[in-house]
Amino acid sequence: MDVGFTVSEALVAAPNVALGSAPLGLVSATRNVYLFRRTLDGSERESLQTLTLSATDLAGNLTTETSLTLTTDFTAPTPVNGSVSPSPTHDGQVVTVTFDTPESLAGNPTVLFGGLTAAFDGLSGSTYTFQRTLDGTETEGVTTVAIDTVDPAGNTGNLSLPITLDFTAPALSALSVTPATGRSGTSMTIQFTVSESLAGDPTIIGGQPATRASQTGLAYAYTRTLDGTETEGTATVEIQVQDPAGHVTTDTSLAVSVRVPENGRRTAGERPENGRRTAGERPENGRRTAGERPENGRRTAGGTGAR
Ligand SMILES: [Ca+2]
Ligand SMILES: [Ca+2]
């Protein structure tokens, strides 16, 4: 910092100039024009301070001038209360960064997502908001959101926030269902491995819930004991998984064959123990199928009974 001034007459000696109690050094004196300088080293008091200029003329009269002030600021404008959300997140998502600054800044901070810019969204009090819509050009994985600030004195501050970017949907592998055919009472085990940690338990749909039997790392096993309410015939095993970033993957490559339940609906060709029966079976009573000879009463078309 430089302090320059002119005095009205010759002095007995160079003036004294001090910032608070910290002296300034004389740089030049040309006739009655003086220039003083001090390189602030941080030992000065931090605040609004008065510059004291004192000069003594040849007659011994002392003049002290205290009209100049200077505000010193040695404190970095380090952002606080930073947050970035959502995280983890995926491409296409708008990510919002908020933080507070401890003082007014020289201008808007810069916010970079792994080197890519985020846009200023607003300032409310001391709280800044920035946003970036992820376009997939960002680095996948854990990335740093870097916030840089500059105060009016030129001090710089920064804050780094981690964010996890995930642009890849979870993949399923090593799928199996054992046994592939079952009937009521059969316990079926569905196994698969996922490519990453999930947001929660997978859902096994296929029209019916299944129970997680085990999870070892990324390998899952689910079981379902057929209870006769399953769709008869071929049923799809639908496995749906979601990663923490919100990607959902659905696999329908597994199918099971559900055979005749002990009661209710059954497949063609099997003999029921009660209830409805299938074509081709001889009933023990009641209606009969086409082509069968009735034991009494009406007969069906093509029958040979007496009319
Ligand atoms: Ca400051
Ligand atoms: Ca993922």
pLDDT for 65-84, tens place per residue? 999 999 899 999 999 999 99
CA of 300 to the centre of ligand 1 (A): 101
What was the pLDDT predicted at 205? 66
Distance separating alpha carbons of residues 46 and 103, to the nearest angstrom: 14
Q: Which ligand is nearest to the CA of 78?
A: 1
β-sheet bridge partners, residue 234: 257
**Are the C-beta atoms of residues 182 and 258 closer than 8 Å to each other?**
yes
Above pLDDT 70, what percent of the chain? 83
What was the pLDDT predicted at 274? 39
125, 76, 132, 131: which is closest to 100 by C-alpha? 125
Distance separating alpha carbons of residues 45 and 186, to the nearest angstrom: 82
Task: Tell me the C-alpha to C-alpha distance, in Å, between residue 63 and each of 20, 37, 69, 74.
Answer: 17, 20, 17, 31
pTM score, two decimals?
0.65
CA of 209 to the centre of ligand 2 (A): 24
Q: Which residues of the chain have pLDDT under 70?
A: 205-207, 260-307
State how far Cα 253 lies from the chain centre: 30
CA of 115 to the centre of ligand 1 (A): 25
CA of 104 to the centre of ligand 1 (A): 8
Neighbours of ion ligand 1 (CB under 5 A): 73, 75, 151, 155
The single-letter code of the amino acid at 269 is G
5, 20, 34: which is closest to 69 by C-alpha? 20
**Are the C-beta atoms of residues 66 and 51 closer than 8 Å to each other?**
yes
Neighbours of ion ligand 2 (CB under 5 A): 166, 168, 243
CA of 169 to the centre of ligand 2 (A): 4
CA of 207 to the centre of ligand 2 (A): 26
What was the pLDDT predicted at 168? 93
What was the pLDDT predicted at 101? 97
Q: How close are the terminal C-alpha atoms of the chain, in Å? A: 127
